Structure 1
């Protein structure tokens, strides 16, 4: 499992906020939900994404914007259009002066906007939680990363657009997986197109020797790896392997291994009810005590405290349709 695969193998989208917006200019949405990660894709028309303090970007059909929170930003038909909607944490929506929304309609399953004749169609997918494994990828991104349609090698936006309005058994899971796939495709395309901003550990996966070592670490974190053991598996001397790994990845092999193990442990604590001892064994620690000591040094709190820590409320409280009704200014049931 490589680090990008960890986005899918770790905390996946689960009941992610997914919405289709059909809008007629002028329109402007102010996003202040502090979500850790949001994808905005244009199906037709165009849209400006304007991060506070960052460079604005114009999206055309097939383009995807990956917005890394928790900063605020605006999505609008034109940078000069005044805000019409403010989206707060928990997807609570108001007008700019805080009053209930007017002029926006519920247009069906996971769909809202100014009317079906609108010339712009956007798809928005918001992750409420990202895991420690995925953080290693996401922290390398700028606040706004734009991937142009020609860089995406799969028709995922069209597929998501076709599925988002369906209301059939299992559809939420289908949409979550499509959102995950779109995120992976967008990140892969962005890193490939931004070599000057690609982290060393990401590029290292293509190195003949270091890539093999990373694969071993990612796939078998419970193995009692040593520098000598990894070196032998890669056909190098201990000193030669350690030097090459550090040069290519930017950190020594045992430092990387520890970071990966603790990130996996954090995700397991969040996503499963396994005991601390069971989590410790899965990630290569001999006991709950050993994991707890390492975990506290890394995160500042114990595994038990981490697990008890309140997570953000679901962005789909009441379901996607409830969120759409709230966006439309109608009280959700």
Structure 2
């Protein structure tokens, strides 16, 4: 499993929210939906992406943006246009004064906006939950990534645009898969750039890359730094120093976070007992996992399974 595959283990669309927006200027959308991950594909016209800390990015036709939440941001025809519409959690659309606009601005199946022939057309795909195993990698992404026209396969974008307004049986499942493909293509393009995060290059390091794969593929093994160093043919000191330099944390800290992230996913995606999950991710007992899980995530494994949001996950970003 490489860095990108690990990242995408979490953001896998399951009932993602997709919408085609058709807008005529002046327009400005204030996004406060707190979604962990959003993909915006510009079909026609242009838009400005504005963060609360003053960053400005222009999106043109064919561009794709990946936005990491949960911070709020604004998308507008011009940086000077004040917000006219606010998108709240659950994709509830209101005016700045609180008037609900969801039905008022409906233009048909998954279409929304001020004009069906609007000068600006964009498709938005929102991942409203992200698996815990990818949180450490999502935190390394910048608030916004913009891929220029041509960097993402135009055939995938055309397929997304074609499918988003269809209303066929199982259309939601089709859209989930197409959105995943667009996200993967966009992230692959970004990871190929020189401005990809430094930790990404750790996977191509002969020593550290092998160590990362051993830890990720065999979390139940009783790893020690000495044992890991022997497995990759390096001294304990050399591995610890190089691993920390490239990954940003020591090997055992990485392993602990990886184990607990996997446990968080398994608790919500399987009906295995806590004891079984504990042994699957490298803890000797349910008690040992529960102690570590609560210390790291802020809730017990049982509460997490029942839907309580771990403090570490809900505040990530």
TM bucket (normalised to shorter chain) is 0.7 to 0.9
* Paired residues for 1:90-169 under 5 Å: 90-101=90-101, 105-152=105-152, 155-169=155-169
The alpha carbon displacement at 1:205 in A equals 0.5
TM-score, normalisation: structure 1: 0.84
Q: Which has the higher contact order (CA 8 A, sep 6+)?
A: 1
Preserved CA contact (<8 Å) 2:48 2:76: yes
- What SS does the corresponding residue of 1:304 show, helix, strand or coil? helix
Partner of 1:246: 244
**Residue 29 of structure 2 contacts residue 83 of structure 2 at CA under 8 Å; is this kept in 1?**
yes
- The alignment status of 1:41 with 2:41, answered yes or no, reads yes
Question: TM-score under structure 2 normalisation?
Answer: 0.88
Deviation of 1:27 after TM superposition, in Å, equals 1.9
In 1, Cα distance between the equivalents of 2:245 and 2:74?
Answer: 40
Q: 1:308 to 1:114 in 2, by over 3 A?
A: same
Match of 1:208 among 193, 206, 209: 206
User: Per-residue deviation at 1:92?
Assistant: 1.6
Q: Matched residue of 2:38: which SS?
A: strand
Is residue 270 of structure 1 aligned with residue 268 of structure 2? yes
* Alignment pair present for 1:75 and 2:75: yes
* Alignment check: 8 A CA contact 1:109 1:166 kept: yes
Q: 1:141 to 1:246 in 2, by over 3 A?
A: closer
1:16 positional shift: 0.9
Runs of 5+ consecutive residues of structure 2 not aligned to the other structure: 311-317
The residue matched to 2:182 in structure 1 has which SS?
A: helix
Give the Å deviation of 1:254.
1.6
Match in the other structure for 2:277: 279
- 1:46 Cα shift? 0.8
CA deviation map 1:147-195 (0-9, x unaligned): 2234335643222112212222332122112222322333343344353
Separation (CA, whole Å) in 2 of partners of 1:163 and 1:103 = 22
Cross-structure match for 1:219:
217
CA contact (8 A) 1:24 1:114 kept: yes
Deviations 1:286-327 (A, max 9, x none): 211111122122123221122234469xxxxxxxxxxxxxxx
* Greater shift in the superposed pair: 235-244 or 51-60: 235-244
- When residues 20 and 102 of structure 1 are mapped into structure 2, their CA distance, relative to the original with a 3 A threshold, is closer
1:100 deviates by 3.7
Counterpart CA distance in 2 for 1:250 and 1:311 is: 26
Aligned-partner SS, 1:189? helix
RMSD over aligned Cα atoms: 2.4
What SS does the aligned partner of 2:126 have? strand
Q: Cα deviation per residue 1:213-233 (whole Å; 9 max; x = unaligned)?
A: 211222222233333332333
Looking at structure 1, the residues matched to 292 and 156 of structure 2 have their Cα atoms a distance apart, in angstroms, of: 40
Structure 1: gaps spanning 5 or more residues: 313-333
Q: Which residue of 2 aligns with 1:58?
A: 58
1:277-316 map, 5 Å: 277-310=275-308
- Residues in 2 aligned to 1:98 and 1:115: alpha-carbon distance in whole angstroms: 22
- Distance across 2 between alignment mates of 1:81 and 1:244: 49
1:51–1:74 Cα contact (<8 Å) kept: yes
Count of aligned residue pairs for this structure pair: 310
Q: Which residue of 2 aligns with 1:174?
A: 174
Contact 2:109 2:166 in 1 (8 A): yes
